[in-house]
Each structure stands twice: as C-alpha cells, then as structure tokens.
Chain A
Amino acid sequence: MTTLSTAANAQPDTGAPTPGEAAEAPLRGMWRQGLIVFCENRLALVGLGLFVLLAGFCFLGPLFYHTDQVHTDLTQVHLAPGEQGHPLGTDGVGYDQLGRMMLGGQTSIVVGLAAGLLATALGTIWGAVAGFVGGWVDAAMMRVVDAMMSIPSLFLFMLLAAIVTPSVPMLILIIGAFAWLGPARLVRGEALTLRSREYVQAMRAMGGTGARAVRRHIVPNAIGTVIVNATFQVADAILYVAYLSFLGLGVPPPAANWGGMLSDGLADAYSGHWWLLYPPGIAIILIVLACNFIGDGLRDAFEVRLRRR
C-alpha cells in the first residue's frame, strides 16, 4: 500500500517538474498534495481557524484589553458579568475574568505546544535510533518504553510534580519528558517497515547510500506520521496541564492556566458563579478539539493510503 502511495507522490499531477527542481520534486509534490487535501477538509480548516482565533484572543487580546492580573482586589470579588466594567465578571480575589482567560490561555497554549514538540522530538530520535540500529539495542530501548508506558502517565507526572516545584518550564519538562513514549513507538514502527520496503531496498541495490535512504525515503514518509502525532501530543499536553492543576500541582498564582481556572471554578459551581466555571472549561474543550481536528486533517493529507476511507 505504501509503495502505491509513494508512486503517487513521486509523480505530482501538477505539471512535470523542470530539471533543476527534479531532485526536490517528490517532497514538494507531497507537501502540495497534502495542502490541497487539508484545505478540502472542512473540519480541519475549522480546527485551524479555531486555534488561530483562540491563540489570537490570548496573545493579542491583552494589547487591547488591559487588566491588572498581578494585584488582587478584595473589594471587587465575585462580580457578575457586566458589573463595574468587567464583561466576564471577577473571580474570588478580584481578578478580571476576561483578562485572566487571556493570561491563562497563554500558559495553556505555550505549555501545550512546547511540551508537545519536546515529546515529539525526543520520541522521534529515540524511535528512529531503535528502528535503524535494530537488534538488541532496539529490544532494550523498546523495553524501556514498555516499562515507562506501563506506569500510568498521570501517576508519573504527579510523582515528579510532588518532587519539584511546579513552574511553567518545569511543567513543560515534566510532560515532555514522559509523553514521548507514544511517538517513540510510532517512529520506530515506521522506521522498521520503511527500511525493509522494496523501493528502499531497490535503491540500496542500485548503490544508494544509507544516508540517501534516510533523506529521500524514510524521512519524507515518516514525517507525516510525526507531524500528525505532534498535533495530538499538543492536545494531550493541554489536558495534562489541566489534570495536574486539578490535582493541585499546577502553576501557583498570580500565574494562571485554563486548567487551574477550571479547577478553581469547580468550587464555585455550587455558589452560582458560572462565569468562573464555564469559560475556562469551554476554552479547553475548544482548543483540544481544534488540535484534534487539525491532526485528523493532517493525517488525511499525509497518509495517502487512508484517504479513500
């Protein structure tokens, strides 16, 4: 099946490549085709739009909507939305909720992206080395992954969060350092199958080097899987931050993140302060959905053999 897909990639239907571009043609063909498929996927575009919108709200919002998110104001607690110039009201210590949503979103998005990327990078390297070297090195490296995978991730995160003091860089490190197991397995599997494909072996038989196999065949084929997985990693990392905050091991105030705001809002659920509960909850759902939609769209774009489904 993959042989078919690369044949399709190698001959882009958008005109014949000029001789100078011929070397880069398969890769560019793949990206262009992927882009077309991605843009045809309405859900993926919705996800991308949603992500851009939420990120814009969090990072550009504070430029237009100034609030004090450092000093508490105990004369202004639990104001309902609209009261005294607070569109989304205030929380239990007097922070403006709309401004806090922006600040909290920044942390959630930054930690999600950074931890997702860190996990993907670590996992790709680990998996690629295991898959290429093979033999007992592969077996040993994968047993380590198996062992770490059988420790439920939340337990592992909490164990570490109990030892170190949580801060934004620490959260990124903790989540990134243990979320790489999934990508590692994925990339190793990919490397193993690709290495033994007929077209790679044919290229090797014609005198192609190992480096060429990696550069021209294995990286272009595996990169799709890696990118797709990275988007899901980002979504998972955002959820993990939320869980850690709920369990009391998030970033301490005055810093904020959507997960922490949501867990604080749980206490307000019974007192009718709905504006402290639903905005962060809905924001988390939206951003995780957005990442998953983008991931699904990218999967359709990159993994050609799944397209017909």
Chain B
Amino acid sequence: MVRYLITRLGQALVVVLLVTVIAFLILHLLPGGAARATLGKEATLEQLAAFNHEMGYDRPWIQQYGMFMQRLLQGDLGYSYQLNQSVSEAIMQRLPKTMVLSLLSTLLAIVVAIPLGVIQAVRRNRWPDYVITSLSLLAYATPIFFLGLMLIILFSQVWPVLPPEAPQGFTVAEVLSDPAGLVLPTVTLAIVTIAVYSRYVRSSMVDNLNENYVRTARSKGLSERRVVLRHTLRNGLFPVITLLGMYLPALFSGALVVESLFNYPGMGQLFWQAALKRDFPILLGVTLIISIATVVGALLADLLYAAVDPRVRLRRSAS
C-alpha cells in the first residue's frame, strides 16, 4: 500500500508539473501574447517591447518558466489589469462557489444514477433498461445549455416555480441562502452526469452479476434482492469511485457552460468573461487551478479505491 501510495503521488506530481509547462507554453509562446492583450491594439512596438522587458518576457523561455514557477510556488498567480485584482484573489472568491455547484450536482447524480444503473442491470434488455438507456443517450446528445434552457422554460415560464437565474452573492453563505436558485443549475449539471454514471453502474453490475460468487450466493438460497443489494452492489460500485475521479474534467467543463447560462458567479463564469476580454493572467490562473483540482481529485479517487478494494493495491503494487 505504501509503495502504491508513493508511485501514485509521484505520478500526480509529474502530471501537475507538466500541466504548468503546457499552460505556460500556450500562453507565452504564441504571437502577440500577453503584451498585446494587456496594452491593447493601439500600443506601439516600443511600448510592447518596454512591457515585455519589464515583465521579463524578452528573456529565454526556460528562464521565463523558472520565474513563472518561482512566483507560482509563492502563491502568486499574477495580476489581472482588467479586473484590477490579483488572480489568486479573484479565484479564491469564485472557487468555493464552483465547488458547491459541482459537489451538489455530483451528489445528486450519484443518488439518482446508482438505483437507475442497478435497475438497468437487473432488468437487462427489458423495457426499464431500454427506457433508461434511451433517456441517457438523449441526455448525452443534448448540448447542456439547450437542456438548461428547456428546464428554464419548463420551470420558470410554463410552470413558474423556480427562478431562472442562479443565486448572486459574494460568499458561499450568500449563495446557499437562496436554495431555490441553485436547483436548476444543479439539476442541469447533474442530468448529463447521471447519464454517464448510470451507464457505468449498469455495465459494472452486469459484469458482476455474471461472476461465480453471485451464482454461489444464489445457489445457497439467498433472495435475489439480497444477492443484488448486498453482494453484487458492493463490488459493482467500486469502479464508480474511479469514475468520480475520471469524470472531473467533464464536470468542470459542464460547470463552465452552466455557470455562463445561469449567470452563476463561479470559476467558469470568471474564465468565460476572461476569455471574451482576452484577460490572459486570469485564463492561465483558472486553467492551472482547475487542472490541479482535477489531478488531486483523480488521485483521491484512486487512493480511496485502493483503500476499499484490497485487490487493487495488491495487483498494482505487484506490477
């Protein structure tokens, strides 16, 4: 277990390091880069050169990366001239709100997707399976902003029970004080997640229902209910833990669209507005933080998986 832990941690570190390199390369080596973006189209070549010199952008890129990493390790993600605010401050204001949205929708998705997947596996190739499969294919094929708009039309216009806009607020507490406003964004984000998770639970349950231990459990006379819920479900749910980690990038991408649609003041909206205004320090900072969150999430999921399923840590540390 300790060896597995160390290898996995080392891998995660390498990945985070590579992420910083990729983000750095994308933003600093493309023509026009940060100087043009900060000073605008009217800036003269002299002004651009002066800015580049002041920021150190005229030095060899290896040196630039070193400076960038040095600042990064001190928690300095740069300064946004457009927001007139340091990047880390802007992110710290938004990050908790995105976490709330992602967490709520993931919880909702798990609670709904597991029973759905189990029903599909038990009633395999019969109508409940077909109905749920069709619905999840449909959910998967619908652009998430179209889905969100359908929900807004249904629940704010046709049957006005929920507000069409997400709660506006500076802090998490303010956002949470308006739970009605959180319902539509959370559900929109959860529906696509449910579609992915339930298919995964289904196939994992189908795999396990064909195992020998299930036959043993049945042949010793256990009720089908007990076989499914106590024996198969436990094993069938292990892979879902990995999925939680693997699905994080897609979840954050979804949050980006949902936050823009519902005007929810999170990281996605911050990133979106920065992209439209070409606010590169914010773009780079958000990309880095979101990616690190993804790596850490995947790492936690893997470790959790190894902790609950002894087969994983034995097999992996052996190889």
The count of A-to-B residue pairs whose CB atoms sit within 8 angstroms is: 136
Q: Of residues A242, A247, A270, which shows the largest number of chain B Cβ atoms within 10 Å of its Cβ?
A: A247
B186–chain A nearest beta-carbon distance, Å: 19
A285 touches B271 (CB 8 A): no
A153 touches B253 (CB 8 A): yes
Q: Of residues A150, A289, A309, which shows the largest number of chain B Cβ atoms within 10 Å of its Cβ?
A: A150
A119 sits at the interface (CB 8 A): no
B206 sits at the interface (CB 8 A): yes
A281 touches B146 (CB 8 A): yes
A158 touches B275 (CB 8 A): yes
A239 touches B143 (CB 8 A): yes
B11 touches A143 (CB 8 A): yes
Q: Of residues B11, B18, B274, B290, which shows the largest number of chain A Cβ atoms within 10 Å of its Cβ?
A: B18
Tell which of A152, A158, A235 touches B272, judged by Cβ atoms closer than 8 Å. Answer: A158
- With CB as the reference atom, state the residue of chain B lying closest to A249: B275
A262 sits at the interface (CB 8 A): yes
| Chain A positions within 8 Å of B23 at CB level | 151
Bound-state CA distance A117–B149 (Å) is: 31
| Chain B positions within 8 Å of A235 at CB level | 141
A149 sits at the interface (CB 8 A): yes
A148 sits at the interface (CB 8 A): yes
Given A159-B26, A248-B276, A281-B146, the answer on whether A288 and B141 have CB atoms closer than 8 Å is: yes
Tell which of A243, A281, A289 touches B138, judged by Cβ atoms closer than 8 Å. Answer: A289
What total of chain B residues lie within 8 Å of the partner, measured CB to CB?
Answer: 51
- With CB as the reference atom, state the residue of chain B lying closest to A242: B143
User: Dominant SS at the B interface?
Assistant: helix
A129 sits at the interface (CB 8 A): no
A162 touches B278 (CB 8 A): yes
A122 sits at the interface (CB 8 A): no
A285 touches B141 (CB 8 A): yes
| Chain A positions within 8 Å of B249 at CB level | 149-153
What total of chain A residues lie within 8 Å of the partner, measured CB to CB?
Answer: 43
B285–chain A nearest beta-carbon distance, Å: 11
A147 touches B19 (CB 8 A): yes
A263 sits at the interface (CB 8 A): yes
A262 touches B146 (CB 8 A): yes
A110–chain B nearest beta-carbon distance, Å: 18
29 contacts between A and B (CB under 8 A): A143-B11, A143-B14, A143-B18, A147-B15, A147-B16, A147-B19, A148-B22, A155-B287, A158-B256, A158-B272, A159-B275, A161-B275, A162-B275, A163-B26, A163-B32, A239-B143, A246-B143, A246-B261, A247-B275, A248-B272, A249-B275, A262-B145, A263-B145, A266-B145, A269-B152, A277-B149, A285-B142, A292-B137, A309-B206
18 additional contacts (CB under 8 A) given A150-B295, A289-B137:
A147-B21, A149-B249, A152-B252, A153-B250, A158-B256, A159-B287, A162-B274, A162-B280, A243-B143, A243-B145, A246-B261, A248-B276, A262-B145, A281-B146, A285-B141, A288-B140, A292-B141, A309-B206
Shortest 7 CB-CB contacts between residues of A and residues of B: A147-B18, A154-B253, A288-B141, A152-B249, A152-B252, A150-B294, A162-B275
